[in-house]
Structure 1
C-alpha cells in the first residue's frame, strides 16, 4: 500500500475554528482584500457571545440558588475569578 505522506493531524475545536481564519488571512494578504477575514472574525465573535449568553443568562436571572451558583462558577472559570 502506498503512502501519500503523513496522516492528517486531528484538530480540536480551536483548530477547526482557526482553519478558515488562517485560510482567509492568506487570501487577504495575497490579494489585499481583507473583508472576508473581517466578516468571518465578526461571525465567530458573535457566535461566541451568543453561546455565552445562552449558557449564562438564564442562570444569572434565575431565582433558583443552585443556578446562580452555577452561573458564578462558569463566570469564575472563564473570567479567571477565585477558584
Structure 2
C-alpha cells in the first residue's frame, strides 16, 4: 500500500487521533486543511538559491526546476478567498 500524501500531517494527524479519542464521548472533531494558495512566495523564495554541488544537481536540481514551473499556478485564488 503506497503512503498517503499528507502535506499538513501535523494538524490532520493530530485531528484524526483526537477524533478517535473523543468519539466514545460523542465529541466530533474536524479540521479544515486548505490546499495550495497562488502567491508570489515561491518565486521570491527561489530567487536567491545558491548553485548546487554537482552531486546534488540531478535530483535536487530537477526538483527545483519542476517546482519553478508550478509556482504561481496553484489552484487556490487569494482574490476569491477575500470575499
> Would you say same fold, with TM above 0.5?
no
Q: State the TM-score, normalized to the length of structure 1.
A: 0.29
| Greater relative contact order, per chain length (Cα 8 Å cut-off, separation 6+) | 2
Q: Which has the larger radius of gyration?
A: 1
Greater percentage in helix: 1
TM-score, normalised via structure 2 length: 0.29
